[in-house]
A and B are shown apart, each in its own frame.
Chain A
Amino acid sequence: QSDLTQPPSVSGSPGQSVTISCTGTSSDVGYYNRVSWHQQPPGAAPKLLIYEVTSRPSGVPDRFSGSKSGNTASLTISGLQPEDEADYYCVSYTNNTTLIFGGGTKLTVL
């Protein structure tokens, strides 16, 4: 099974908003509301940002939000800050009772 499709890179200036897309199929993203987003700063372990498409764990700023339409989930980061520079990964449950990650998106804060 191929990775979920994410743009390799996105960029924005401080204070701006960026959106990262995550495209799957009707067997994963499109069928289940089990899409999560994880942030991985350089040299660090990943950290959960969003789960079940739109839910935010405690401690994650509300600048981070998730949504889904059809087979595509999205992560929006508003009010960009320099510390948001990191790699971002989506992951979805699939109908094979497995998980599949996106290829990752590198966010650059200009």
Chain B
Amino acid sequence: EVELLESGGGLVQPGGSLRLTCVASGLTFSNRYALSWVRQAPGKGLEWVSGISGSGGGTYYSDSVEGRFIISRDNSKNTLYLQMNSLRVEDTAVYYCAKDPAPRVRGAFDIWGQGTKVTVSS
């Protein structure tokens, strides 16, 4: 069974940093699949945060996190990362990793993780 498992969430103070990790099982990342991070604030809808192409050569961000978050991947480790810096209260959310079935970010997420919770609070 193909699964994505996120980790690294937790409680952090405003201005702090966290690194989220997403590991795939039952699936080889390879450069054939783009990956994204999508978040969901408490009681709110889904918000796309960032995406990375299959090769890792293309990285994309929403305006709300541009300049603060960095997405990366290590295909040899089947792992996706999200380095989150200068965290704000409004970054509080469950963060999902999601896989596109093609090398470019498209939003056709055929596999979703179960999410990791990030709380930014003093």
Alpha-carbon separation in the docked complex, A46 to B99 (Å) = 12
| A3-B45 CB under 8 A given contacts A45-B115, A46-B96, A99-B51 | yes
Q: Does A68 contact B (CB under 8 A)?
A: no
Check A91/B63 contact, CB under 8 A, given A45-B96, A101-B46. Answer: no
Q: How far is the CA of A89 from the CA of B112 in the complex (A)?
A: 14
Asked if A103 is at the interface (CB within 8 A of a chain B CB), the reply is yes
List B35-86 residues whose CB lies under 8 Å from chain A.
Answer: 36, 38, 45-48, 51, 58, 60-63
Q: Give the complex CA separation of A91 and B63 in angstroms.
A: 16
Tally inter-chain residue pairs, CB-CB below 8 A.
Answer: 71
Q: Contact check: which of A51, A98, A101, A104 meets B60 at CB < 8 Å?
A: A98
Known: A45-B115, A99-B51. A89 touches B61 (CB 8 A): no
Contacting residues, chain A, for B87 (C-beta < 8 A): none
B48 touches A91 (CB 8 A): yes
Q: Does A36 contact B (CB under 8 A)?
A: yes
Question: For B115, what are the chain A residues with a Cβ–Cβ distance below 8 Å?
Answer: 45
Q: Which of B47, B61, B106, B110 contacts A101 (CB 8 A)?
A: B47
Asked if A31 is at the interface of the complex by the 8 Å CB criterion, the answer is no
Q: Which residues of A52-103 are within 8 A (CB) of B? A: 52, 57, 87, 89, 91-93, 97-103
Closest beta carbon of chain A to B56's beta carbon, Å: 15
The chain B residue sitting closest to A40, CB to CB, is: B46
Question: Which of A35, A45, A48 is close to B110, meaning CB atoms less than 8 Å apart?
Answer: A48
Q: Report A's interface with B, CB cutoff 8 A.
A: 1, 3, 34-36, 38, 40, 45-48, 51-52, 57, 87, 89, 91-93, 97-104
Further contacts, 8 of them, CB under 8 A, given A34-B107, A52-B106: A1-B63, A36-B108, A51-B107, A89-B45, A97-B58, A101-B48, A102-B45, A104-B45
Residues of B close to A104: CB separation below 8 A: 45-46
Contact A45/B105 with A38-B46, A89-B46, A99-B48 known, Cβ cut-off 8 Å:
no
Interface residues of B in 95-111 (CB under 8 A from A): 96, 98, 101, 105-110
Q: Which residue of A lies closest to B99 (CB)?
A: A48
Taking the complex as formed, is B9 at the interface, i.e. its CB lies under 8 A from any CB of chain A? no
